[in-house]
Chain A
């Protein structure tokens, strides 16, 4: 015989694995063929060996079970021999999955094994049962009485296995829980500690899955275990279970405090001590209203702090101390704050697990006082200390804001940061800043510099978040605009940023924000000319189209304000200088009028045309032709016509400015869009096209002419074309005009009316036969027109985007303005704001939806950014007009409809 045993298989695998992947695969295939043969064979021992080999392969390789494998496992399970049967039960969890029907075949065999008086036998099915029971409710249903029966088995080894099987059984067969619950209570008082331990485990799982409410009645038994047992494992479980139960029953707290306090002071097992402390925290036993609660909290925090301080000691204890401190922060922030130094040190730990816990803890510790020092330390983590010197602006701004922190930079050096950790760290950092609409921020100039630094040093793709936050801060905090523009002006001049920005490392977002903000607040620029030069750097052509489009627009804005400012102090020697500027601008913009991207092309071309106009005006401009205005002050007094028509400067200098200075960009209030008052005379509920564009009820023959004909038009493309043809012909014969429509209708001749009737009949017939024709529908209201606009236009969602808790939407509204810097927390609302109609819950859900959609940052393609900067600025400036325009548009549509539909009827 050539059958391979499991040992042979393993040896073969090891031999082939050493040679190559291909030979290993070949060997596995060969082995699989053999196993299939063995499974089909009649020899039960061979069959079991095959099953075992299959299990081995399935455990180590992602190999699906061969078809019919479950069937063979059932055979082996029902073998008489103990060692074969055990193999069968070992394989059962691997062989059976949700779709396997063979589970049904096992019922009787399992029942027999369970009820066997032979002691070694029942544990075998009990080992495999949890998996099988969770698969098949019918199996759970059938075996439930047997399991309950086994609960009173004489052997504790079987009792405890049976208890554990109850959990999956009740999960699949919930009715069993009611029946078996009293037995659970009995088992909590079992004389065998193992059985009690298993039962506590089951109760724990049940309470976690279904809520602890139903398990409060077990509290007396659990309390007895807590006070009576000396088994640490059991005590840990019970203590953990009480952490679930106490929040549901406050009276338990008073009862539990003495035993838990004594455990804390007496036990030598740190694991038990830790769980007691954790339960005190999580279970709400540290109620500050009670004196002993306060004392206990002090004890707990001191224990945890002790773990944390234990330098060179157990790293595991530091880890779990951080874990538990996160839970205690909400109630006792001041106590944790005493250990701030240790916690911040943990941020520098070489162990990423501890760092992550510390980061989480630090995030929840942040308040107005420590924000700056914590953020600085996190920044120091991101900044590679060796490279800092090569990043001039980052270093400069770091030095500008440092002050509080100089020591931690050195310690962070040795840590290697994975990109995923850097990303997490950066996002946490940004989240700390923007938490509750910058509630903890006292110095916004510092925020700006931090954001710039983050973009420089993070080296992960947070560009979108940095950009959105920069725009948000600058829009909300008026006083910081000057500083921001001056900082970002320097960023523009840094060609390195552009280069690295193309690699999705955070700088791209910074660059976009810099370009846009320098354009929008160009009056704050220290040197507009060098800013223009920096924006139109030759390497711009390598950027993405959206960046180029932004840049062109920004250049136009900067030129606008620059031109306006030189106009006020115009003198003839400025003329050539300006002429040169315009020429260089033109040459800078010109290449982009042939750009591949349509947006870039269009903007470049527009600006180019405007610049040509300015250029022409400059050349033709002659410094004061008539000396009519030597004294500017007297101008308005006399000589009106001459002085008005001939200012001392070329008028075209003011060509650009009005294009960009209509309204100032402000943060838009949450719900601002909803609050826009509807203009008079527009009813959003009324249908633009009656009947939703479908023919109305054809039975009502006496419809107005318009309505019927509308249906006619929309009945199909064929119809539309015909109508258009007729319209053309009609134009020659008939006079048209919307005012005359009614008159025309009345002037229909009898003949025309007959023809119309005929057409209508024909149409009715066609519609009846047309399988694609849909009946009248009234679903216009379902189209969520307004909601879509809200999503696009509300910049507050950017804030929410950054402050990492989505719940903070509500806080944006509710939180009071507490801090001194004048931050525009609530955003701008329309002047004629009206109370929003929709319920808050609805609107919140929509904006949350928006967050989820926005959420994945889209690197490179910054279409969203475009909406925010340009589109959004426009809509902010013109939000009242927007609606009016829309209503006008609606009317236009109506009129057109009428025109179109009128013609054929008039024929």
Chain B
């Protein structure tokens, strides 16, 4: 599955982070900065897979997954200090993959001022993910019409919506770019209609006697909606 989707610029400023594997905020940030510092060191023209002796991805169960360190020797990393857990690499990778294999990979692509980074495990095809990144970027391009970094900065919610048309819960939802674009546009249309119209888009669905179209919702109305 896909553990995380990250976008940051060439100066290391994060523009988007979406983690499908729950991690604490501190670890998320340190992972981002670690991946950035490793990627930014890489010259151009090298491959799109990031392997480094000191890169460690923490897994869901609180242990960590080591990259390509079958040997019991384990480079100490910032994560150990963050999490205070110095478990051995071996056997700990069961958290995500369920196997002893160390198959977590960082796959990235570089577009203009931005790095698009996917952190995935062995269930995903390395080359397939490279294509998926391309699909993601093209979808953004269609959604924003010539996407640039500023679009991502100021419309992070829209980026999330586009992403949610491609990946849901760490699994790939759709790879066809036309379908993705159509869905994203649909959702955008709905949003626009809902925010511009004075009436809620779906007035008759959730309406309870206390709710009337045009009345600003709030108060305790939502409680009755929830059935509490």
Contacts and interface: CB of A to CB of B under 8 A. Distances in A.
Interface of A: 6-7, 10, 14, 42-45, 47, 52, 55-56, 58-64, 74-75, 78-84, 86-87, 90, 97-98, 105-106, 108-109, 112, 116, 118, 120-121, 123, 126-127, 129-131, 134, 157, 160-161, 164-165, 167-168, 194, 197-198, 201-202, 204-205, 208-211, 233, 236-237, 240, 270-271, 274-275, 315-316, 318-320, 323, 350-354, 356-357, 360, 418, 420-421, 423-424, 427-428, 431, 804-806, 851-852, 855
A75 B224 CA distance: 11
Contacts of B28: 62
A109 B225 contact: yes
B16 interface: yes
A352 B168 contact: no
Contact of B127 (A44, A270, A357): A270
B61 interface: no
B128 interface: yes
Nearest to B218: A42
A164 B53 contact: no
A47 B217 CA distance: 11
A59 B17 contact: yes
A323 B186 CA distance: 41
Contact of B173 (A161, A804, A805): A161
Given A109-B225, A112-B206, A131-B169, A233 B183 contact: no
Nearest to A319: B47
A763 B166 CA distance: 80
Contacts of B97: 208
B126 to A, nearest CB: 6
Given A78-B222, A83-B191, A58 B25 contact: yes
Nearest to A117: B205
Contact of A82 (B51, B70, B191, B226): B191
A233 B135 CA distance: 12
B148 interface: no
19 contacts: A81-B201, A86-B187, A108-B226, A109-B226, A118-B202, A130-B169, A161-B168, A161-B173, A194-B173, A205-B171, A208-B122, A275-B125, A319-B126, A351-B47, A353-B49, A418-B54, A423-B53, A423-B73, A855-B73
Nearest to B73: A427
A81 B72 contact: no
A83 B194 contact: yes
B147 interface: no
A51 to B, nearest CB: 10
B72 A7 contact: no
B194 A82 contact: yes
B45 interface: yes
A80 B217 contact: yes
A205 B29 contact: no
Contacts of A10: 153-154
A202 B172 CA distance: 10
Given A130-B170, A236-B128, A80 B46 contact: no
Given A44-B218, A164-B171, A236-B128, A420 B47 contact: no
B10 interface: no
Contact of A424 (B53, B179, B183, B190): B53
Contact of A353 (B51, B154, B211, B216): B51
A98 B52 CA distance: 32
B200 A201 contact: no
A271 B17 CA distance: 27
Interface string B148-180: 000001101100110010001111111110010
A271 B132 CA distance: 12
